[in-house]
Each structure stands twice: as structure tokens, then as C-alpha cells.
Structure 1
Amino acid sequence: MKKAIIAMSGGVDSSVAALLTKESGDECIGATMKLYNNEDIGVHREKTCCSLDDVEDARSVAYQMDMPYYVFNFTADFHTEVMDRFVDAYENGCTPNPCIDCNRYLKFDKMFHRMQEIGYDYIVTGHYARVEYDEKRDRYLLKKAVDDTKDQSYVLYMLTQEQLAHVKLPLGGLRKDQVRVIAEKHGFINARKHDSQDICFVPDGDYAKFIEKYTGKKTPEGDFVDKEGNYIGRHKGIIHYTIGQRRGLSIPAASRLYVCEISPKTNTVVLGDNADLFSSELEADSVNLISVDSLAEPKRVTAKIRYRHKEQPATAWQTPDGILHVKFDEPQRAITKGQAVVMYDGDEVVGGGVINKIYSQS
């Protein structure tokens, strides 16, 4: 019999993952990560994950299954590894994905170490993806979920071989409607609970307001400029903008203008036409590879430049210093620094990294 920690967010997915693991005969405990205090950031219960109300939902399901349940307080780590990184990225002209950082530094790092400390064998989550061991290659693989509408392999690209060896994802072979049916059949309180859609600590989507409240400082205004550096108007502060943005610019123009570049060094935001948003090549750091040891030789892949992006054919390779290069067959719109590029070979995740440079079209 194996011993498992079930990472329970209070949602239906992690609850059904817990049920399926328990039914497999393994010894299970439920655990929720306490990441912040609701009242500190004005979070409403119905819009977020890991809030106090979600803790009660997770506890209810765990007790219903006669499963021991714990809350691990990771608030200090969450502030340092997720919220601080989020703020730093925006202040440096990037657009981060804090859910990936939460997985990287909290769920599969802090929780992983807690698992080791108490002598448990693996962590179970409600992510829609699959982990398989390939004997021929002697390595663990991360694969897309069967339900392509819910696939979350993109946000798990940073998992290492050691972590994959101790992670189980029971929902990878199920569809979302099947998961809800299982939850309803067992009378779970969260069977019809809505999925969280927003960043947990910015539920209203106003990133700039959160950053200014979190840092206690007002972001300085600056200039909108065109591609040649000519003055167009004034912006509210670079944290208010992301690549590809059109709304909220308040700049009168004969044609639509889009945010094409953000320069924290000069505190300027470059505006241009939609055509200016397309580029074919990028660089990424913080690289993690899963299905291969290295990309010293160019490899044909498909790649996504954001979670909702449809993966596109590309060639990927690494330079001797480990920097990842991805060159798409066709130009892609609004490649953005701070987002993750994740590569696939069919259903397998090849790996990914954090975008830090975009090559302009020439």
C-alpha cells in the first residue's frame, strides 16, 4: 500500500482525484495550502481557489471519505515565490503566469518536501494531464489530458523527473462532465461548484490596482511612442499594459493602435498596428525539459506561447548556454515576455521555458 497526499483546493476536480485515489486502496490524507488571508486582498469566496471557504469545502469532502485532513500554511512562501514575482514581472514590462509559479514553487516544491518529510510516497492533484513511465527511454513523460478542452499540461511543464516519479494525476483520462457525475453520485458539496477563472489574489482582474496596493507606491506615468520613438501621448504606468492590448489606451487615432512593446528602462510603451504584433522567433530561459535530455540538435515540435494559444508548428533548439530558441513556421501574434512557451511532440510535453526575448520581423 502506497501513501498519498491529496492536494485539495476545495474544487470538484481535486475532490474526485482524492476519491479515485482512496478507492485504489492507497492510504490518503487531504491537504490544502493556505496561501493568503482573504481579508488582506479582498477576495470573494466564489471567484478563487484556496480561500478560507474552499478550505471548508475540502475539509467537508475529506471527512465524508473518512480521510485525515490538514491545512499547510505556506503564506510566507506564496508572498515571496508568487506574489513578489508577479509584481516584479509587471514592473519590468513582462506579463507573468502566477499559476505556473504556484505549481513550481508551492505545490510541487513546498508540498513535495512536506511529502518527503512525513514519509509519504506521492502527491495527487486534480490537474487534467497524464504522467506515464516510458521503460525504453527510462524516463517519466507528461502527456496531454484526454479531455482537450480541459488539458492543463501547459502549466505543468516545469515538473522534473524526480517530481513526475512522485506525482499522480487521476483525472487525465477523464472528461470534465464525467468528473462532475462522479462527484454528484457521491454527494460532494462541490459537485456543481464553478471552476475558478481568475488569478486567486487578483479576482477582479485589475492587476495594476493590486500591484499598487501591494507595493504601496504609485506607478509613474510615461510616454506612448510609435515604432520610431515619436511621442503619441501619455500612459498611466507600464503595469497597466500588456502586449497586444488595444482597450484602455485613450489615444485618438485614425486606425486601431495596439501595445507592441513595453520598455521599463525608458518608461515608454510602444504602440503600433496589428501587423506589428507578429513575430516568428523567441528565446526563453528557466528551461525545463521532460521528454528529452537536451535540445542541442534542432527538433520539430508544436508550441504554445500562452495557456489558451493553439499550439503551432515550430523548430526548437538550445544554445550551449542553455537558452531555448523557438522558431515558428508562421509568425505568431503577441508573443509576450514573462509567459511560458511550452513544446509538444504529439501528446508528449517536450518541455518549456519563460519567454525573455522576441525577435522582430525583418
Structure 2
Amino acid sequence: MTRSGPTTGARVAVALSGGVDSAVTAALLLKAGHEVFGLTMTTGFDAVSAGGELDHPAGGLPHVAAAAGVARQLGIPHQVVDVRDTFRQVVVEPFCRLYREGLTPNPCLACNRFVKFGRLLETALDMGAGHLATGHYARVAKDAAGLHHLFKGRDPAKDQSYVLYGLSQDQLSHVMFPLGGMEKAEVKVLAARMGLQAAVRPESQDICFITGEGHADFIETWSGTRLAEGSILDTAGRRLGTHRGLARYTVGQRRGLGLGGPHALYVVALIPEANALVVGSAHEAASRWLSATGATFVSGSPPPAGARLAVRLRYRARETTGVVSYPSEDPAVFHVSLDVPHRAAAPGQAAVLYRGEEVVGGGIIARTEALERALSALSSRPRRPVTREASRREDRPPAHLQRFHEES
């Protein structure tokens, strides 16, 4: 298996953010003899961090100015790419809506798949580049048959392979991750040694379009309506208190529930149909199985039923292991029986499958044992039954998740 990338002297675009990772990426490619130029996205939300309006012109944005400074220092051409419409449609709007519908989406999944390695990659190719290089901590390699493989970055603390599982073979054939075999500390030392101004720039945040306020406050501001309060129930259906809007909570959460008592309580499930937050013990919040929908696999082929693989259920979560199966003939829906019950399997998050260091693929969590257990308990109550028939179907996600996958 060989490292994927162009021959020396090829034209390569670098996604410049103005930070240390993209600056070192560009510098390394220049040193390797490539013809390098920089591209910087403006999403329409960059100005929030600059204290401006959502449609602030790109020229006044700190990250654009920083990226332009990197380009000047390295002596490479630089261009700003306006992705505002795409970013709103495939990242921000689904993020806000899905949170309101009781899910816990990860906006980086859609951003990488449809914006960075969608719109930005298309722009790079249109400008004559054969590859788009970024500062992601992940690795791509090509086997003898020409198939591209995606691997974790060497630095486990910075590995970003989780948010890249949805990239296609075509996308992987045009991307480069020069930092994938390095640790963050090495990158910082290298930046200082190269005299790059970006070496002292602060780290970027996880959700780039939300600064200062929390995600729930952002959702209220974006939609123009407040999150609706509702009941906090235990798994027997007894009312324990009032929640401040489902978007403020996620499965497995313990803090911030506003509930007293002698025993720790965790979020077991969010039931948007009843605007109810179900809490319970650590045991009740844990799931021994989950189902994921909208699955994609890096090679294009799903792993065989019965394969035991590592599974990561959140971006920075520790991996667990489980056995993969398929409830129907549709490989876009897979089921994982976990070896150890997991307390943070949240619908809306991705379940990403690994074989050692290699990313196999992944899908969006639609059903979990904890969710089904909560629905069953609440449905058996004599008053105000709660049902979600779609979530009991093995061959499709709940209705609100179907809309998510239609957009994808």
C-alpha cells in the first residue's frame, strides 16, 4: 500500500484557515516541490466570531486576513471561496432543526463531506489542481488495485478520521493530509522552526459557527423562537421536573438536569413527539445495541455480517467493540451488538467502524436499546401514550432521521 498523493511538481490547492495546521501543510508541500495555491472559505458565519453580522464581507474577517498573511509569507497565490449558501443549507439549517427534533447532530460530518471536500474541492479542481490538501490529522493510502483507504492520524489526541468516514473513493483520490503522520507537538515545533506567523495563532473551536453562546442559544437565535420547556420523566413515566428545551440535552448527560436526589441520574432518551426528557440510572441509560442508517463504507463495500469491529460513537469518545449485522438486504442500515453496554449512544451522532487503524465506514445512529426501552415503558402508560412506530422498523430510521438522510 502506498501513500496517496500527486507526483512532485503537481498543482495542489491548500485549504488555508490561517491556523498553524494549514500553514504547515502549505509549507511542506512547497518544500516538496509542488505548485501550491491557497483557498479560504467564507461561510457567512465567520463574522460572528469577528463581532459582525452574518453577511459581513470576507475582506474584514480575521481568518481571511490570517490566511492571506500565510499566503504572502509563503509567496503563494490566495483566493477566497464563498460557500455561504451551501454552508447554510447542508450544515447550519439541518443542525438547528435536528437538535429541535431530539437528535444530537455533528455538523462537522456534513461540512467535511459536502462543503470542504464538496464545494471547496470542486473549486480546486476547476482551478487546475489535482488535489486539495488540508491540515486534517488523518491518513490516506492507495492499494495495488487503486482502492483508497482512510486511516486514523498518528496523534490519537488530534485524530480526525471520525468526521471523514463519509468521504467517497472519488473524494479520497483528490485529497492530501500531509500532517496525518505527525503529532500536533511536532507541527508546532516545525511551524516555529519555519518562522511561520501562524505558529502563535490560537486553536480553532469544534463548532466553527458558534462562538460565545452555547449551541442551544444559537438555535434559538437562528430560528427566532425559544426552545419549548417540557417534562422530565423517569423510566416509569413519573414526572420529576421540567426541562428547558430538548436541544439542551443529550443521551448520557448527567450534569445540568436540575434534579436532586440520592442517586445519579442520566439522560436515557429524548422523545420529541411528547417533548419529554427521560432520565434514569447509569444502567438504564446504557445500550447493548444500536442501529445506524444512511451508512457509507470507504471501500464501497460493507463489512461482512458477523464482523467484529471497533466502534466510535462520538468524535472524542473511546472506541468500544461490537459485532456488525444487517437487519435487511439494505447495507445502508447496520446493527451493532456491543460487547460492553455504552451510555452515550445518542441518536443523530455517527457510529464509525474501524478495523485497527483503518476506517471501515459509518452511519447515523437512529435506534438504541435505551431509546427503545424508554419508548416501550412510556407507551405502556395508561395516560398519553407515546409511540414511534417508525423507530421500530428495522429497515428505516424515524421520520425526522429520514429527512436528514434525504438531505445527505
TM-score exceeds 0.5: yes
Q: CA 1:285–1:43 in 2, change beyond 3 Å: closer, same or farther?
A: farther
Distance in structure 1 (CA, Å) of the matches to 2:28 and 2:353: 30
Distance in structure 1 (CA, Å) of the matches to 2:51 and 2:337: 42
Tell me, yes or no, if the aligned pair for 1:291 and 1:349 is still in contact at 8 Å.
no
Q: CA RMSD in A?
A: 1.9
Identity %: 38
When structure 1 is superposed on structure 2, of 64-73 and 193-202 the one drifting more is: 193-202
Q: How does 1:121-200 map to 2 (within 5 A)?
A: 121-136=130-145, 138-200=146-208
Matched, 1:347 2:357: yes
Distance in structure 2 (CA, Å) of the matches to 1:223 and 1:43: 38
Q: 1:91 aligns with which of 100, 105, 112?
A: 100
1:93 deviates by: 0.6
> Alpha-carbon deviations, 1:205-249, whole Å to 9, x = none?
511111010000112211111112122222111112111222222
> Alpha-carbon deviations, 1:227-277, whole Å to 9, x = none?
121222221111121112222222232322221110111111101112211
Matched, 1:232 2:236: no
1:163 deviates by: 0.6
Which amino acid in the other structure matches residue 360 of structure 2?
V
Q: Structure 2 stretches of 5 or more lacking a match?
A: 1-8, 53-57, 374-408
Q: CA 1:327–1:43 in 2, change beyond 3 Å: closer, same or farther?
A: farther
1:135 deviates by: 1.0
Find the residue that maps to 1:191 and give its secondary structure.
Answer: helix
Q: 2:249 aligns with which of 241, 258, 261?
A: 241
Distance in structure 1 (CA, Å) of the matches to 2:196 and 2:51: 22
Tell me, yes or no, if the aligned pair for 2:50 and 2:62 is still in contact at 8 Å.
no
Q: CA 1:6–1:342 in 2, change beyond 3 Å: closer, same or farther?
A: same
1:44 deviates by: 6.3
When structure 1 is superposed on structure 2, of 165-174 and 1-10 the one drifting more is: 1-10
Distance in structure 2 (CA, Å) of the matches to 1:94 and 1:339: 8
Which amino acid in the other structure matches residue 166 of structure 1?
H
Structure 1 residue aligned with 2:345: 335
Q: CA 1:292–1:42 in 2, change beyond 3 Å: closer, same or farther?
A: closer
1:303 deviates by: 0.9
Find the residue that maps to 2:181 and give its secondary structure.
Answer: coil
Which amino acid in the other structure matches residue 246 of structure 2?
I
- Say which structure is richer in strand: 1
Tell me, yes or no, if the aligned pair for 1:38 and 1:44 is still in contact at 8 Å.
no
Distance in structure 1 (CA, Å) of the matches to 2:157 and 2:243: 37
Distance in structure 2 (CA, Å) of the matches to 1:72 and 1:247: 41
Distance in structure 1 (CA, Å) of the matches to 2:38 and 2:186: 22
| TM-score, with length taken from structure 1 | 0.93
Distance in structure 1 (CA, Å) of the matches to 2:159 and 2:90: 25
Distance in structure 2 (CA, Å) of the matches to 1:36 and 1:151: 27
> Alpha-carbon deviations, 1:300-329, whole Å to 9, x = none?
211100111111221123331220212211
Structure 2 residue aligned with 1:217: 225
Distance in structure 1 (CA, Å) of the matches to 2:135 and 2:88: 23
Q: How does 1:1-362 map to 2 (within 5 A)?
A: 1-39=9-47, 41=48, 52-136=61-145, 138-204=146-212, 206-291=214-299, 293-318=301-326, 319-321=328-330, 322-360=332-370
Distance in structure 2 (CA, Å) of the matches to 1:43 and 1:293: 44
Q: Structure 1 stretches of 5 or more lacking a match?
A: none
Aligned length, in residue pairs: 356
Find the residue that maps to 2:198 and give its secondary structure.
Answer: coil
> Alpha-carbon deviations, 1:24-80, whole Å to 9, x = none?
2121110111012444x45569xxxx9921211111111111100011011121111
Distance in structure 1 (CA, Å) of the matches to 2:66 and 2:176: 22
Misfit runs of 4+, over 4 Å = 42-45
